[in-house]
Structure 1
Amino acid sequence: MFNNIQLDSPNLGDKEKEYLIKCIESGYVSTAGPFVPEFERRFAEFLNVNHCVSVQSGTAALHMALYELGIKDGDEVIVPAITFVATVNPIVYCGATPVFVDVDKDTWNIDPREIEKAITPKTKAIIPVHLYGNPCDMDKIMEIAMKNNIYVIEDATESLGALYKGKMTGTIGHIGCFSFNGNKVITTGGGGMISLNNEEWASHIRFLVNQARDIAQGYYHSEIGFNYRMTNLEASLGIAQLERLQEFLEKKRMYFELYKEIFNGIEEITVQKEYEGAESSAWLPSVKIDCKKVGMTIPQIQDELKKRGVPTRRIFNPIVDFPPYKEYKKGNYFNSYEIFENGLNLPGSTLNAFENIEYAAKALLNILNIKREVNI
């Protein structure tokens, strides 16, 4: 058994210590100081967008995007049935109604055909989620949005570095949102980022997240604002992590390719697929297991993997099953439930060695009693 296999733990080292010490020694540890604007500038440069505004979380990023676009009571926002609940909560914060639609059976991302069916005169926005780092079919989604005069807010919280036809996720829609939680591609401990090219929106969001304070007039507030600012401590960590991002992406994609190679041709296991022209960030490598065929449930498989030192995570539960959202359960979510019942996240942390990933994959084959020679 391999010890210390990591599911999604952050990769922190000397560079992160160096930047944190530099921040502490500067005295700029809170929201005022040079590290936050520098992180925003570098992040915008990486994405090739005009503006980035840092916030306290991916949830805050989504909330601010919806708020800035004027989403309010009586409006509808289309979202996939499978995502983390943080995608949906900000819709309700704004008083709007989430409209859940099913996902594609192969990519597990929001199905553009289901989006079209769900559009009503009240629809004001779509939030495509690049699930587990896998880009959505953005060409079709943007086509639908333009045809119906609807905003697109990309939930790119899991997909930093992912590409769709040469463009970074989070830069294709009207606004992109990222998360830097401890388990994401890069981390600031918490934190998030809003990416956009509209200068007016960016300026106003920057104003709102600082309690809508007009600094030129001291403590004067012309609007209701939010305390969503990132701290310099977080930003200094983010700068260090951003400098290592390519290293992280290379490792994650290498691990993802290894899983695909080992599971290739095995009917009982299918890897989350990418659309043509898309390249996942491979944040969390994910597979679907034919549980009926193997005669085991996902929790049973997880228990057996845990005994062998392999941490896993279940696919997100369809949100329409949660008490606050049951009233919004309107349609057929066959693919979402099928993926939840059969899906599994496998180790993808960049702290792992190549051998850890190979061991995890072989352990799954062993548990499912699938005999196969694997030569890597």
Structure 2
Amino acid sequence: MIPVNTPLLDGNERAYLLECVDSGWISSEGPFVGRFEQAFAAAVGRKHGIACANGSGALDIAVAAAGIGPGDEVIMPTFTIISPAASVVRAGATPVLVDSDPDSWNMDVAQIEARITPRTKAILVVHLYGLPVEMDPLLDIARRHGLQVIEDAAEMHGQTYRDRPCGSFGELSTFSFYPNKHVTCGEGGMVLTDDDTIAEDCRRLRNLCFQPGRRFVHEQLGWNYRMTNMQAAIGLAQLENLDAHIQRKREMGAAYQAALRDLSGIQLPLAQTDYAESIYWVFGIVLTAARQIDATEIMRQLADRGIGTRPFFWPVHEQPVFRKQGLFADESYPVAERIARRGFYIPSGLGLTATDISEVTSALKHCLATPS
């Protein structure tokens, strides 16, 4: 079986973990946490990094630190993992959705302005799969309407928008360090900001809102979203190899593009736009209308041949948990609905070998060989 993701742990991960064990510093108080925060913030061009337990926790903290709460609206894409919308809903605010661009699969920035109301407080940007959202017009809209920008860059480690690091835009940005990311801690996340006050708020929210001098007296509710020293040790080792990881991902993406470009009835990911070159966080495929077969069936056939796959994200407006809460009734976003049903991604992890890529493409060609 070729899994959909295999991480690459070939740097200082083992040495740094042994340092944690030998020193006894395995909790969130250990020195690797601060080292990782500083190094990651510097890599993204931010002043402050606040490490936390996972990417979803980073979003919870960012939404709270932005002051988003009941009565507020947050504009965001419908085509994304559920986490950003869940953070907004848990805060008592309402996600206001926009559809996807059919080529990049990112949020369609041209739809944002029409969704702004007097209750709109922020735009939550989610960069997807390998290419960033087109930020210049989005930032212009935010400036003109006095809106905050929260940038979910969970999948964008090492990516740039017009040579500026993703995660360096807006009041706050967030990252995830799940095992399928270009920098992984196994689990983990990071909130980044340039604002001293927001950074202090984030640190407090991450740590149960303990108070100096009166640790167990709480004026505000927070979370235990602390990152351990062992997680941070792995993350720091991974960060040291980020440039090599990006190069490897682009080489893998180019190999897939070359092997699959002549297959009819499929849409491959954009290799580049005028503002970015894809880093191929995952290599996605969308079946076109010319193919009668659906993504679920192709994924089943690939599984039978030992190839791991994963479906595309399911649109926020179609999530049963939100529909039960009365959200998004009668809303439709046709591009997101189509790519969610017709899209999937093939093995894309950093541990993938050239032989693996050859086997994956051979199996995919076999499964798609039947005339549409």
Contact 2:317 2:331 in 1 (8 A): no
2:134 counterpart of 1:134: no
Who is 1:284 aligned against? 282
2:89 counterpart of 1:92: yes
Who is 1:328 aligned against? 327
Query: For the residues of structure 1 that align with 2:370 and 2:139, how far apart are their CA atoms?
Result: 42
Who is 2:365 aligned against? 365
Query: For the residues of structure 2 that align with 1:103 and 1:366, how far apart are their CA atoms?
Result: 30
Query: For the residues of structure 2 that align with 1:50 and 1:337, how far apart are their CA atoms?
Result: 38
Contact 2:268 2:284 in 1 (8 A): yes
Query: For the residues of structure 1 that align with 2:152 and 2:256, how far apart are their CA atoms?
Result: 25
Who is 1:189 aligned against? 186
- Give the counterpart of 1:299 among 284, 296, 308: 296
- Aligned-pair CA distance for 1:228: 1.3
Who is 1:318 aligned against? 315
Aligned AA for 2:122? Answer: A
Who is 1:374 aligned against? none
Cα 1:279–1:216, aligned 2, differ >3 Å: closer, same or farther? farther
Aligned AA for 1:215? Answer: P
- Aligned-pair CA distance for 1:9: 2.5
Query: For the residues of structure 1 that align with 2:8 and 2:336, how far apart are their CA atoms?
Result: 31
Deviations 1:285-331 (A, max 9, x none): 111122x4233111111111112221111111112222222233253
1:205-220 to 2 correspondence within 5 Å?
205-220=202-217
Aligned AA for 1:276? Answer: D
1:192-203 to 2 correspondence within 5 Å?
192-203=189-200
Deviations 1:205-263 (A, max 9, x none): 11221222233455454433321111111111111111122222111111111222223
Deviations 1:106-145 (A, max 9, x none): 1111111221121111111111111123211111111111
Query: For the residues of structure 2 that align with 1:281 and 1:357, how far apart are their CA atoms?
Result: 17
Who is 2:145 aligned against? 148
SS in 1 for 2:150: strand
Contact 2:11 2:238 in 1 (8 A): no
Deviates more, 1:262-271 or 1:53-62: 262-271
2:14 counterpart of 1:17: yes
Normalised to the residue count of structure 2, the TM-score between the two structures is 0.94
2:61 counterpart of 1:64: yes
Instruction: State the percentage of identical aligned residues.
Output: 35
Who is 2:121 aligned against? 124
- Aligned-pair CA distance for 1:174: 1.9
Aligned AA for 1:333? Answer: Y
Query: For the residues of structure 1 that align with 2:360 and 2:248, how far apart are their CA atoms?
Result: 16
Deviations 1:184-218 (A, max 9, x none): 22211211001111122112211221222233455
* RMSD (Å) for aligned C-alpha atoms: 1.8
SS in 1 for 2:250: helix
2:45 counterpart of 1:48: yes
2:16 counterpart of 1:8: no
Query: For the residues of structure 2 that align with 1:261 and 1:167, how far apart are their CA atoms?
Result: 28
2:351 counterpart of 1:354: no
Who is 2:340 aligned against? 340
- Aligned-pair CA distance for 1:48: 1.7
Cα 1:7–1:170, aligned 2, differ >3 Å: closer, same or farther? same
1:171-186 to 2 correspondence within 5 Å?
171-186=168-183
Contact 1:124 1:150 in 2 (8 A): yes
Query: For the residues of structure 1 that align with 2:93 and 2:193, how far apart are their CA atoms?
Result: 22
Query: For the residues of structure 2 that align with 1:72 and 1:50, how far apart are their CA atoms?
Result: 26
Contact 1:268 1:293 in 2 (8 A): yes
- Aligned-pair CA distance for 1:86: 0.9
Query: For the residues of structure 2 that align with 1:50 and 1:362, how far apart are their CA atoms?
Result: 46
Contact 2:11 2:237 in 1 (8 A): no
- Aligned-pair CA distance for 1:56: 1.0
- Give the counterpart of 1:110 among 107, 111, 125: 107
Deviations 1:60-95 (A, max 9, x none): 111111111110100001111111111211001110
2:180 counterpart of 1:164: no
Query: For the residues of structure 2 that align with 1:109 and 1:334, how far apart are their CA atoms?
Result: 14
- Aligned-pair CA distance for 1:173: 2.1
- Aligned-pair CA distance for 1:351: 1.0
1:257-276 to 2 correspondence within 5 Å?
257-273=254-270, 274-276=272-274
Query: For the residues of structure 2 that align with 1:42 and 1:161, how far apart are their CA atoms?
Result: 13
SS in 1 for 2:100: coil
Cα 1:212–1:348, aligned 2, differ >3 Å: closer, same or farther? same
Query: For the residues of structure 2 that align with 1:174 and 1:14, how far apart are their CA atoms?
Result: 33
Contact 1:132 1:282 in 2 (8 A): yes
Report the count of equivalent residues: 367
2:241 counterpart of 1:244: yes
Query: For the residues of structure 1 that align with 2:362 and 2:127, how far apart are their CA atoms?
Result: 28
